[in-house]
Structure 1
Amino acid sequence: MARVLIIGASGGIGSALATACRARGDAVSGLSRSRDALDLTDEASVRRHLGACEGQFDLVLVASGALEIGGARPEKSLKALRAEAMAAQFAVNAIGPALVLSHAPALLARDRRAVLAVLSARVGSIGDNRLGGWVSYRAAKAAVNQVVRCAAIELGRSHPESICVALHPGTVETEFTRRYLGRHPAVRPAEAARNLLSVIDGLTPRQSGGFFDWAGEAVPW
């Protein structure tokens, strides 16, 4: 039985991940803003909540994130960029996960395999960007990818059997994506959760610091 900690456990993907982990017999702990008053944009809140977690986990998964914040939709062009909206994107999608990663190593054993995974997005890939737009969200996800890479390097020094990765779950049918599904094929949260757990289960320490999609394929930086 694995011990799993899910940050953002009340969201569409987070709750599906919690359900899928419990179904296979894992002991799941969850933290979220709505249920636990965890504020990922507040360093003291992150420290307090993660510091209260007892024992060691086999998987710590950051499933939090936001596409629209304060009613601000993704920009169609740089002309639509607003500093406040961009700062909010970085606070939620980059700084929040970074704060979790700064405290998470204390929750992992040093003598066995453990995984730190952060849900990112393919639109955060610089190499895969062909359309432009969505500037703030793209930039925040690109930033969290860099944070994951740095965290993986540090984790490898203290926890050589552990793995730290960014994961793209694909387009998932949640409230998060409701306005933006359009022509994109999408999957239900339960299927997305199964896909992500399959990828996580197959990772090795040699893949730590990577960025992978729901099928386990590497995503360009």
Structure 2
Amino acid sequence: MGSGLALVVGASGGVGAAVLDQLRAAARFGRVHGVSRAVDGLDITDEASVAALAARLSDGPPLELVFVATGVLHDGFEPERSFKALEAAHLRRDFEVNALGPALLARHLIPLLPRDRRALFVALSARVGSIGDNRLGGWHSYRASKAALNMILKTLAVELARTHPQAVVAGLHPGTVDTDLSKPFQRGVTPETLFTPEQSATHLLAVLDGLQPADSGGVFAWDGARVPE
């Protein structure tokens, strides 16, 4: 894709680690770097932590890809089956990790993107964050936080189209991936639709290869199909 820097945020997770490995193996960029809470202490919900990351990167090569592979689904809270299970703490936690974190990353990292060439800011989203595709209800906190993320990405795309005409901002739906995030929810998932992290990374990087500036602001599934808004 380019000769600059590719940054994977959440590089110690299943999908993030696989994306990092494949980017390095493919030599798509001049340099590939991964960061995470587990390895670097990065807290994407803390603005000082994100700003410090941006400061460390500001003297390096141009930032041509930001791949945000962070997210939370359960981890102390079970997805709600009904509005009766709504809790402020659950909503707050999901919004902080799934929407606030990527927004802060955009705030501090997008200024490092080049304006004269292709650059990408992408984040893992989810099909259940689609308002138009919601036919089952439930999972209020997760759905709403991913819908908020999708709106943030859309708004970023509108703004960047004015200043970075070759940039692409997008959400990525990885499908059901065999990681800790999906473990409790894999019942009923057929083997052919349960991906390893490596399979998911391969799919998502192929999607990135095909995205054009006209696609900016959309959310795309692992097979390249656009997810309804």
- Shorter chain as denominator, the TM-score bin is over 0.9
Structure 2 residue aligned with 1:157: 162
TM superposition shift of 1:41: 1.0
Structure 1 residue aligned with 2:220: 212
Query: Which amino acid in 1 is paired with 2:22?
Result: A
Superposition map of 1:138-153 within 5 A: 138-153=143-158
TM-score normalised by structure 1 residue count? 0.97
Q: Which string of whole-angstrom CA distances, capped at 9 and with x for unpartnered residues, describes residues 177-219 of structure 1? A: 1111111231000010000000001111111111111111110
Query: Which amino acid in 1 is paired with 2:186?
Result: L
Superposition map of 1:45-64 within 5 A: 45-53=49-57, 54-64=60-70
Structure 2 residue aligned with 1:202: 210
Q: Comparing 138-147 with 18-27, which one deviates more in the overlay?
A: 18-27
Q: Counterparts of 2:114 and 2:45 in 1: how far apart (Å)?
A: 27
TM superposition shift of 1:107: 1.9
In the alignment, structure 2 segments of 5+ residues that lack a partner are none
Q: Does 1:65 align with 2:71?
A: yes
What value does the CA root-mean-square deviation take over the aligned residues?
1.0
TM-score normalised by structure 2 residue count? 0.93
Structure 1 residue aligned with 2:103: 98
Q: Which runs of 4+ in 1 moved over 2 A?
A: none
SS at match of 1:66: coil
Query: Which amino acid in 2 is paired with 1:162?
Result: A
SS at match of 1:52: helix
Q: Percent identity?
A: 49
Q: Counterparts of 2:124 and 2:168 in 1: how far apart (Å)?
A: 14
Query: Which amino acid in 1 is paired with 2:102?
Result: P
Query: Which of 29, 35, 42 is 1:31 aligned to?
Result: 35
TM superposition shift of 1:49: 1.1
Q: Counterparts of 2:161 and 2:112 in 1: how far apart (Å)?
A: 15
